[in-house]
Amino acid sequence: MLSALFAGSQYPTYLVFVAVFVAGLLTAVLMPAFIRVMRKDGIGQQVRADGPQTHLVKQGTPTMGGVIMLVGLLLTTVLLARWTPDLILCVCATVGTGLLGLLDDVESVSHGRSLGLTPSQKMAGLIVISVAFCLLAVNWVGIAPTITFPGGFTVDLGVLATQIGPVSVPWLYVFFVFLMLAGLSNAVNLTDGLDGLAGGTVMVVMLAMAMVAFSYDEINLAVFAGAAAGACVGFLWHNCYPASIFMGDTGSLALGAAFAALAILTKTEVTSLVMGGLFICEALSVMMQVISFKSTGKRIFLMAPLHHHFEKKGWSETKVVIRFWIVSAMFAAVGFALYFQLR
């Protein structure tokens, strides 16, 4: 079977499709054993006390499924991709952020509460990862510290740079990369609140990013993005309602970082934010809710993040998830169209 799969490996498009299949199969097949181990050890999700009452039945559902998603993603990448500097950097950012998420999950489970690492601890980890990623991207991979907007307008963020030995530190771009990586990691993390929601929406976005990387002639990054989409597919087999396992911060933070890393390495930062528009909406809903409540004492949404608002309005969990998948696909389509306007 393996020889048949790799028979057409000289065709780049074929490799991307195989990556989706292999990562999906590996994740789906390995997950049941992981679920059994989690159940045997009593390692389960801690549900928010102030969340929807319908979610209380999810208390104790096995979590940290992101571990197997990363295994499926990495094994597929090892099998199908060439380890170029940009791919190595993308994988390191994904794994590093996944390990940060794993610490958060372990802290949450061990203390029996829905909160894990403190915000400052998590932010410190994201700062270290994003700064290291940015400096390596600029000085090792050769990524230009610029941002290109629709219409061809380019902003140079390398104007305030410091040379420290052989390393150039473009301070504005370092800050921008931090906003991208930390912002998208947390945005995907906030989206991970309903069965199948984060897995389905990330799958859609990663398929779009695979097409972007492929058209950018970054075949290895396209394989990586396809493998990430495939890992989401395999995970959804076990995470669809009612979920047998959750991805936890291990998965959501890692997938958000993978998305950000792909956007930066393919120089599609702006259009990628459009592709991930649903994640942005979820994050903005939380920010707007907090600002409104602290300044006026009133809430804009019935509950934040946004998906809980629609649950409170009476939508079933499945209806919210499927409609958010559709919205995510529409954002991805618009962002992909904008990408070709920038080429």
Whole-model pTM? Answer: 0.92
**pLDDT tens, position by position, 309-343:** 999 999 999 999 999 999 999 999 999 988 877 66
pLDDT for the residue 116 = 65
Statement: residue 245 has pLDDT above 70: yes
pLDDT, position 341: 73
Backbone angles phi, psi at 322, to 5 degrees: -65, -40
The per-residue pLDDT for 108 is 80
45 — pLDDT class (breaks 50, 70, 90): low
Cβ neighbours around 316 below 10 Å, total? 12
Tell me: pLDDT of 54 over 60: no
Does residue 43 register a pLDDT over 90? no
Q: What does each C-alpha distance from 76 to 202, 233, 247, 251 come to in angstroms?
A: 18, 14, 19, 16
Burial 48-69 (b: 16+ CB within 10 A, else e): eeeebeebeebeebbbbbbbbb
Q: Quick check: 205 and 328 in contact, CB under 8 A?
A: yes
pLDDT in tens, 86-121: 999 999 999 999 999 999 988 887 766 556 678 899
46, pLDDT greater than 70: no
Compute CA distances 341 → 29, 34, 160, 274, 336, whole Å.
40, 44, 29, 13, 9
- Segment holding 163, helix H or strand E: strand 161-164
Whole-number Å distance between alpha carbons of 272 and 181: 12
Q: Per-residue b/e over 147-179, b at no fewer than 16 CB within 10 Å?
A: bbeeeeeeeebeeebeeeeeeebbebbbebbbe
Q: How far is CA 224 from CA 55, 91, 122, 139, 209, in A?
A: 33, 8, 25, 22, 10
Distance CA 188, CA 66 (A): 13
Q: What is the dihedral of CA 12, 21, 277, 52, to 10 degrees?
A: -170
Q: Measured between alpha carbons, how far is 60 from 193 in angstroms, rounded to an integer?
A: 15
At 287, is the pLDDT very low, low, confident or very high (cuts 50, 70, 90)? very high
Q: Which amino acid is at 40?
A: K
Residue 27, both tokens: 């994740």
What are 123-148's pLDDT values in tens digits?
A: 999 999 999 999 999 999 999 999 98
Predicted pLDDT at 34: 95
Q: What per-residue confidence (pLDDT) applies to 42?
A: 73
pLDDT digits (tens, 9 = 90+) for 57-88: 566 688 899 999 999 999 999 999 999 999 99
Q: Tokens 């932010």 map to which residue?
A: 123
Q: 172 vs 40, which has greater pLDDT? A: 172
pLDDT at 339 (0 to 100): 85
